[in-house]
Structures are given as C-alpha cells and as structure tokens.
C-alpha cells in the first residue's frame, strides 16, 4: 500500500552506507582552486522610500538639517518620509538651492534664505543661481553676479564694465576699446572651479575672472549639445548636463560622457555632488550615480515615483531626488552580505512567505497580499531548503536545522499526498486555509489537473514536470548530505528512491493519474531522440543522468547504476555538452538554466567515472561561458565550486550587494537606455546585448518588466547563493563581530504581506 515505509534489510542498508562512504572518500579530493576567497567587507546598501505627490516636484535642497521641496510654487519640508507644510514661505518661488550651509529660495519676488526656522528676504531682485566661490556665497541674476557681504549682495561688475577676451579689441597698453559694452549672460548657472568662476549660458560655457568675460578659453573639444541645463564643479572636473550626454571639462579640455562610456541616459537634467566620491546625475528617464569605474541606475517605478528627474540633493549617506511625480529618498546604511542574509530571512517571516513548510511568492488580490499556490511549489521551496542546508553545514545551529527540516517535510509531503509511489504533486491546496484559488491552467495551455486527497482535506496538482523533479533531487540530496540524521536520512533516501524508481520503471517518463506521461515529464529516447523533443535532449538527458547517479549514491541499488549505463548507451551523456540552447530565441528559457545548474551541482558531487565526468565538465564549461556575461552568483559560484577554476567571484559578490532590500517587484524599462553596449570581455551568445544589475531588473538579461508593484518575490535565491559561497569558501565570513554589521535586529513587525495561514496543519509523515 502507498505510504507504508518498507524496512530496509540490514545487509542492503550497510551496502548503501558503505557505497556512500566510498563515494565520499573518492570525491573528497577537491580540485585546485584558482579563485581566491573574497572578504565580506562592509559596504553601503541603499534602501528607498518614495513620496508620491501626483504633482511635479520642481526643485529640492538639503542643508544638512532640513530638506525642502518645491511643488508648484509652494515649499514643503520633508520630515522622515512625509511632506509637511512650511509657514511663511515666499511667493513665486522658482528654485531651491543649498549654498553656504543654508537653503535659498529663488523667487520672482526676490531671494530668500531659510534661517532660524523662518524664511527671510535677503534681496528683492530675481536670481537664477548661487554658489560658494573662494569661501563666499555668490549669486547670479540673468545678467550679473553678486557676492554676499554683511548680509547683502554686492555686484562684482567693474565700474568700467567687463572686458572681452577678443584680442582684436585689446590695445598695446592693455586697455580695451568696445564698440558696445561687453555683456555677461543670459546666465543660467554659476560654479566655482579651480579658483575661478564659470558661467553657463544657454549652450555656452564662459570663464569669468571678475573682469574678463572669456568665451574662447577651451583649447580642445566642444559641448555635445547646445541644450544645457545644469553645471557642477567636483574636484578636477567641471560637469555640464546636455541632452546628448554629460560634458566634462578638465583644465582647458572639454570631452563628453555618452552611453557608450556607460552613461545609462544621455538626456541629462541636473547634477549633485555625492557623499563618497560619486556624482549624482538626473536625467529625463531616471537617476544615475556615477562612481569610479561603476554606474548605478535608478529607474522609474522600481526606485523613483516619476520618470523625469528635476533636481537632486545629497547629504551624508542620503540622497533626495525630485521627480515629476514625487520624491525618492535613498538611504545608505553599512551592510555586510551576512547582514543582508539576516535581513532576507527576517523578510520571509514578516511578509508571510512561509506556509506549511513551503515558500511562496505573494501577489496583490482583492486589496491584500496573497500567497501564490504555484505550478512549482516544490521548486520554489527547494531553493530555500538548499540555502538552509548550506547554512546548517556552516553554523550547526538548531534554528537553521529546524528551518531545513520543515521545508524538507513539505517536499516529501508532495509525494506522500498522491496515491502513487514516486509520483508527486506540483502544489497542495487547502480546503480550509488558502486564499489563492486553484489555478485553472496547466502546462502548455492545457487544463490544470487537481485531485482531492484521500481524506478530502486537500487538493493536489498533477501534471508534474521535469522542473519539479530536478529541484527535488537537488535540494533533498543536499539535505541528505548536509543536514539529515536518523529517520530524516531514511526518509530522504526513500523519497529519492521512489521518484527515481517510478521514472525508471515507467520507461523514463513521469506518468500522471491517467497513466499517460505528463506534459514535460519525459526523458525517454522516443521523445528526446526524435524531432519533437530534440530541443530538450541535452537538458533532459542531463536531468535523467542526475536522477540515476543521485539515486545510486543514496541507495546503492544496482538498478540505478544500470539505468545510468543505459542512458550513456543512448548517448545522453554526449548530448549534455550542448544542452544550453542559444538559438532560436523562442527556445531560450531562463528557468532551463536553473535546472541545468541544479543538475550540475548534484551529479558532479557524486559522479566518479572519469569518462562521464569529462563529458559533464565539458558541458558545464560551455554552459558557463554562455552565462558568464550575467555575472550571476548562482552560475559563477556553482562553476567555481565544481571545477576550482576562476569563476569571476568579484562580479558575483558585486551582484549580491546590488540585490534590492525591497522585494516588491515593480515595473522597469531598460530597453530604451543609451548604454546598451556589450561589456568589454564578454560575448552574448543568447542575443541579449548586455546584462543588467539586480537593482535594475528582475533578471540579468531581462530588459523590461511590468509587475507594477503587485508581486513580492521571495528572496531565497540570494540566501542559496550566499550560503553556497560561504560553504565552499568562496566568500569568507565578515571580519567584524559588530552585531549591527552582521545581523538585523528583530523588527517586531508581523503581517506586512500575507496574513498567517490558519488552515489545517500538515499531516505527520514520520
């Protein structure tokens, strides 16, 4: 009968243990490591708060204590993440500027300074910009420059007017003859650069030394566009925004930073100096943080409430971004990757991703967050089970062990709930506690197959695919190796034996309740070696080899070794070399790459035959070369741990740091950026132009997405990849023991996402 655990004979049990021990001894010789372990140094992690205004925020300024925003012609103060009205604000304000430790309001009615919590009028003229030059605040009207003296602005214009840099008007004695007075302006911006004032006119940069208006001082280069908007002096460079990139002046040379140089959007609008040697650039389509040899792009919806950036203000580890629909506040906090792992583990609890041992993503339905009962509950949970297995192998703490066992029990329940040994469900739905409805669609557009449990308390989804089988072998085998003890070891072994036996005994297919193969559960030569299934032959062949090798490893049963040999006889091993499809585009599926690496991570831990390992390593080498441009920790760390070869761990570590703390998935649009060029040293074999950071996209080569903030993704991939890297020594533990840098304090928050599951408990299985 189903679900009766057969006692293993003592002799066969010891054969199994001896077999596993021999394999462990033989694979314990690790390959030489060509990668160097990376330190988990402290870095600054950004988090975001958005203030939706529905109206355009025209300007923003921060003086170190107060942040003011201009909406329409009204000034608002930003307090925490809300807007508060300010009393006594001047009328007709057009711009806010921070200069000399104060916030200034530039209005049609005059110039005002925020001092002692009040707005005070300083001058009645209309000004366009301010800056600090040689330690003194200077201000500019459209045609003249003033300096602040004793609380008043005094014109710097010489009594006899300005001089020209035109050599034809300079007399032998140095005097100048002007047919008409030399004009300065119309001025749009002023900046102090290298001890000299520079004036930005519309499409023209002017050097002004207090006497001479020099429009001909640039020896090399020109502005990339005459449509200029803002200017920033920063160290050795003077930056100017244009609609065709960022102009940069060094000395007397003018160059441009364009999309081909890494600038995500060339239509730039505003500038601000950063807090860590960085420059902040506002654009018509998002904000950009320009760092030394790196670019951080912050797009609309995902980070900003609006698309167009009008102004940016920067404080210590905080950035305020004014957009056409609100304000974005980016806070930067010291983090380590270990602290980030702690944050994500707390997120899983606070947001309600857990249910009956399973891990679920959330989606917005009927004004609340609901756990999705998916087509791949086992696969989604497998990632978390793997993470906790790696973590337990390092920490050996009871909390992590309980988490691993809980998810393991959910995984084996998927098989125990069905009436057929070895056939398991995609998902389990409760008749009493689940708010997500049972899906009506199944694989390939076919109707979903839901079946009631024997006791009528649950429904389980059939038509199980290769995705779930591969995930079960990957995660349960890790649990078996790293966590399981006593009865758990027996249950894990039995779980893998049942599934492998069911596939093998049915002629390499996974049969559903109707006795027919499921849509994607086919590893038989009649499918894979004929035209209909030809595109799957490499990946599915790799999976089938993994099932047999793993089952033989944990059970020692000779039939699995014979099954493995049968697959090799059919040429399945050779087919794995080109398992990664690169053409045509419709055959490229990102989830197939995950399945391939789950298989590599499993079979290459167990396979000891030199011939088979040689073929599998060739397969891995080819696949990683295709995926190398992604900089994915999952691909890089897997490759490095399995081969010992250089796996570009620095790129993967950077990727981990760039995961967003906010797990809500928003819409994003990268396909219209100006930096869509191949990265030097990388070749795209899949047709994508370049990879994107996880702060910019939901996938490395996914350009656009439209989740609209209605999905909360479970952050289990980060946990798996981080703890895998820790387990193999690719990432070292932090050198600090400061709790604020290696963990997050309990927030005490509950039910931020889905409400707790309140239905029937999971049955006791052993």
* DSSP one-letter string for 2-13: TTPPPPPPHHHH
Q: Place 28 in a pLDDT band, splitting at 50, 70 and 90.
A: very low
At 199 the three-state DSSP class reads: strand
How many percent of the chain have pLDDT more than 70?
A: 96
> Given its phi and psi angles, is residue 431 left (phi above 0), alpha (psi -120 to 50 degrees) or beta?
alpha
Residue-level pLDDT at 30? 64
Q: At what angle do helices 537-555 and 610-627 cross, to 10 degrees?
A: 130
Residue-level pLDDT at 131? 98
- Helices and strands of the chain, counted as H and E runs: 16, 40
Q: Place 350 in a pLDDT band, splitting at 50, 70 and 90.
A: very high
H or E element that contains 371 = strand 368-371
The answer to whether residue 402 sits within a structural domain is no
At 452 the three-state DSSP class reads: strand
With 90 as the cut, is the pLDDT of residue 440 above it? Answer: no
How far is the C-alpha of 158 from the C-alpha of 137, rounded, in Å? 18
Q: Residues 6 or more apart from 724 whose CB is under 8 A from it? A: 386, 387, 390, 637, 638, 641
With 90 as the cut, is the pLDDT of residue 25 above it? Answer: no
Integer-rounded Cα Rg, in Å, for the chain is: 32
Which among 717, 713, 697 has a CA at the least distance from the CA of 634?
Answer: 717
Burial class (CB in 10 A: 0-12, 13-18, 19+), 152: exposed
Mean pLDDT of 81-94: 92
Which among 240, 169, 242 has a CA at the least distance from the CA of 206?
Answer: 240
At 696 the three-state DSSP class reads: coil
pLDDT in tens, 194-217: 999 999 999 999 999 999 999 999
C-alpha 763: how far from chain center: 37
Mean pLDDT of the chain: 93
* DSSP 8-class letter at 733: P
For 36, half-sphere exposure in the C-beta direction (CA atoms, 13 angstrom radius) is: 3
At 672 the three-state DSSP class reads: coil
Render 99-148 in DSSP notation, one character per residue. Answer: ETTEEEEEETTEEEEEETTEEEEEESS---EEEEETTEEEEE-SS-EEEE
How far is the C-alpha of 463 from the C-alpha of 460, rounded, in Å? 10
How far is the C-alpha of 332 from the C-alpha of 311, rounded, in Å? 19
With 50 as the cut, is the pLDDT of residue 29 above it? Answer: no
pLDDT in tens, 706-731: 999 999 999 999 999 999 999 999 99
Find out whether 191 and 233 touch, Cβ atoms under 8 Å: yes
How far is the C-alpha of 399 from the C-alpha of 475, rounded, in Å? 18
Residue-level pLDDT at 24? 38
C-alpha 58: how far from chain center: 29
- The domain in which residue 77 lies consists of 43-156+183-334
β-strands 196-201, 204-208: how paired?
antiparallel
β-strands 253-257, 268-273: how paired?
unpaired
Q: Place 464 in a pLDDT band, splitting at 50, 70 and 90.
A: very high
How far is the C-alpha of 291 from the C-alpha of 274, rounded, in Å? 9
With 90 as the cut, is the pLDDT of residue 747 above it? Answer: no
Burial class (CB in 10 A: 0-12, 13-18, 19+), 215: middle
Residue-level pLDDT at 316? 96
The answer to whether residue 70 sits within a structural domain is yes
| The total number of structural domains that make up the chain | 1
Mean pLDDT of 38-64: 97
The answer to whether residue 87 sits within a structural domain is yes
Q: Which parts of 613-751 are beta strand (E)? A: 664-669, 704-712
The answer to whether residue 735 sits within a structural domain is no
Instruction: Give Dmax over CA atoms of the chain in angstroms.
Output: 113
Burial class (CB in 10 A: 0-12, 13-18, 19+), 491: buried
How far is the C-alpha of 379 from the C-alpha of 720, rounded, in Å? 13
The answer to whether residue 225 sits within a structural domain is yes
Residue-level pLDDT at 10? 35
The answer to whether residue 443 sits within a structural domain is no
Does residue 750 or residue 544 have the better pLDDT? 544
How far is the C-alpha of 310 from the C-alpha of 53, rounded, in Å? 14
Find out whether 311 and 322 touch, Cβ atoms under 8 Å: yes
Strand partners, 67: 62
Find out whether 319 and 309 touch, Cβ atoms under 8 Å: no
How many percent of the chain have pLDDT more than 90?
A: 88
Q: Place 51 in a pLDDT band, splitting at 50, 70 and 90.
A: very high
The 10 Å CB-count burial string (b at 16+, else e) for 536-561 is: bbbbbbbbbbbbbbbbbbbbbbeebb
Which among 67, 107, 64, 62 has a CA at the least distance from the CA of 89?
Answer: 107
With 60 as the cut, is the pLDDT of residue 114 above it? Answer: yes
How far is the C-alpha of 458 from the C-alpha of 358, rounded, in Å? 15
pLDDT in tens, 387-410: 999 999 999 999 999 999 999 999
Find out whether 558 and 548 touch, Cβ atoms under 8 Å: no
Torsion sign (Cα): 129, 130, 134, 136: positive
Which among 435, 433, 439 has a CA at the least distance from the CA of 458?
Answer: 433
Backbone phi, psi, residue 367, to 5°:
65, 30
With 50 as the cut, is the pLDDT of residue 8 above it? Answer: no
The answer to whether residue 140 sits within a structural domain is yes
Torsion sign (Cα): 220, 224, 230, 234: negative
Backbone phi, psi, residue 311, to 5°:
-165, 155
HEC sequence for 466-513: HHHHHHHHHHHHHHHHHCCCCHHHHHHHHHHHHHHHHHHHCCCEEECC
Backbone phi, psi, residue 177, to 5°:
-115, 120
Instruction: Measure Cα distances from 765 to 364, 418, 451 in Å.
Output: 33, 13, 20
| CATH number of domain containing 55 | 2.130.10.10
Torsion sign (Cα): 352, 357, 360, 364: negative
How far is the C-alpha of 438 from the C-alpha of 441, rounded, in Å? 9
Instruction: Measure Cα distances from 98 to 130, 315, 390, 515, 754 in Å.
Output: 8, 11, 50, 74, 43
The answer to whether residue 134 sits within a structural domain is yes
Which among 59, 198, 207, 186 has a CA at the least distance from the CA of 138?
Answer: 198
Which among 500, 480, 470 has a CA at the least distance from the CA of 382?
Answer: 470
At 728 the three-state DSSP class reads: helix
C-alpha 606: how far from chain center: 32
How far is the C-alpha of 718 from the C-alpha of 337, rounded, in Å? 10
At 222 the three-state DSSP class reads: coil
Residue-level pLDDT at 27? 40
β-strands 212-214, 163-164: how paired?
parallel
């Amino acid at each position: 009968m189903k679900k009766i655990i057969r006692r293993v004979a003592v002799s066969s049990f010891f054969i199994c243990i001896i077999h596993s021990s021999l394999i462990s001894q033989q694979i314990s010789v690790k390959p030489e490591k060509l990668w160097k372990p990376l330190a988990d140094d402290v870095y600054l992690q950004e988090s975001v708060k958005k203030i939706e205004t529905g109206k355009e925020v025209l300007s923003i300024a921060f003086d170190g204590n107060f942040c003011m925003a201009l909406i329409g012609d009204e000034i608002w103060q930003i307090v925490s993440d809300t807007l508060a009205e300010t009393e006594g604000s001047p009328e007709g304000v057009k711009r806010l500027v921070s200069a000399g430790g104060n916030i200034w309001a530039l209005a049609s009615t005059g110039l005002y300074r925020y001092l002692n919590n009040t707005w005070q009028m300083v001058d009645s003229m209309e000004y366009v910009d301010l800056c600090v030059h040689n330690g003194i605040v200077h201000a500019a009207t459209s045609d003249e420059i003033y300096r602040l003296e004793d609380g008043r602005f005094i014109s710097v214009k010489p009594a006899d007017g300005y001089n020209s840099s035109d050599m034809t008007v300079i007399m032998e004695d140095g005097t100048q003859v002007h047919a008409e007075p030399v004009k300065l302006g119309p001025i749009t911006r002023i900046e102090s650069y290298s001890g000299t004032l520079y004036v930005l006119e519309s499409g023209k940069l002017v050097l002004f030394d207090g006497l001479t208006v020099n429009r001909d001082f640039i020896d090399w280069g020109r502005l990339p566009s005459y449509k200029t908007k803002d200017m920033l002096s920063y160290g050795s460079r003077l930056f100017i925004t244009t609609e065709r990139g960022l102009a940069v002046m060094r000395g007397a040379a003018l160059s441009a930073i364009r999309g081909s140089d890494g600038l995500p959007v060339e239509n730039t609008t505003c500038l601000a100096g950063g807090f860590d040697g960085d420059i902040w650039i506002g654009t018509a389509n998002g904000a950009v943080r320009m760092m030394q040899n790196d670019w951080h792009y912050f797009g609309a919806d995902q980070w900003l409430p609006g698309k167009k950036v009008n102004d940016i203000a920067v404080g210590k580890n905080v950035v305020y971004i004014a957009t056409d629909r609100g304000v974005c506040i980016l806070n930067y906090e010291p983090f380590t990757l270990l602290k980030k792992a702690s944050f994500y583990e707390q997120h899983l609890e606070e947001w309600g991703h857990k249910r009956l041992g399973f891990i679920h993503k959330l989606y917005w339905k009927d004004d609340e967050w609901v756990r999705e009962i998916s087509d791949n509950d086992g696969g989604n949970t497998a990632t978390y089970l793997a993470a906790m297995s790696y973590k337990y192998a390092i920490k050996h703490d009871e909390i992590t062990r309980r988490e691993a066992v809980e998810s393991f029990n959910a995984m084996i329940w998927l098989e125990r709930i069905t009436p057929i040994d070895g056939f398991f469900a995609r998902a389990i739905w409760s008749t009493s506690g689940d708010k997500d409805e049972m899906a009506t669609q199944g694989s390939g557009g076919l109707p979903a197959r839901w079946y009631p449990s024997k006791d009528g308390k649950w429904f389980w989804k059939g038509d199980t695919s290769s995705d779930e089988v591969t995930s079960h072998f990957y995660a349960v085998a890790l649990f078996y190796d790293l966590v399981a003890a006593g009865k758990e070891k027996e249950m894990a072994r039995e779980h893998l034996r049942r599934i492998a036996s069911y596939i093998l005994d049915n002629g390499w297919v996974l049969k559903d309740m109707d006795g027919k193969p499921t849509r994607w559960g086919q590893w038989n030569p009649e499918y894979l070696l004929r035209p209909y299934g030809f595109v799957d032959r490499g990946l599915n062949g790799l999976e089938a080899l993994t099932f047999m090798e793993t089952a033989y490893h944990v059970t020692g049963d000779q039939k699995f070794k014979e099954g493995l040999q049968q697959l090799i006889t059919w040429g399945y091993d050779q087919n794995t070399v080109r398992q990664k499809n690169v053409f045509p585009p419709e055959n490229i599926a990102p989830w197939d790459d995950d399945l391939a690496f789950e298989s590599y991570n499993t079979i290459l831990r167990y396979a000891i035959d030199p011939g088979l390992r040689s073929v599998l390593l060739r397969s891995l080498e080819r696949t990683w070369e295709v995926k190398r441009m992604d900089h994915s920790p999952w691909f890089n760390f897997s490759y490095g741990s399995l081969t010992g070869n250089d796996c570009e761990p620095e790129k993967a570590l950077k990727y981990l740091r760039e995961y967003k703390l906010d797990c809500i998935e928003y819409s994003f649009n990268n396909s219209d950026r100006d930096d869509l060029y191949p990265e030097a040293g990388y070749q795209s074999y899949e047709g994508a132009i370049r990879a994107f950071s996880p702060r910019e996209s939901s996938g490395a080569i996914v350009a656009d997405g439209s989740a609209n903030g209605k999905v909360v993704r479970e952050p289990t991939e980060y946990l798996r990849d981080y703890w895998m890297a820790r387990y193999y020594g690719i990432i070292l533990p932090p050198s600090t023991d400061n709790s604020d840098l290696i963990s997050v304090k309990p927030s005490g928050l509950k039910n931020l996402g889905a409400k707790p599951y309140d239905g029937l408990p999971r049955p006791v299985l052993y």
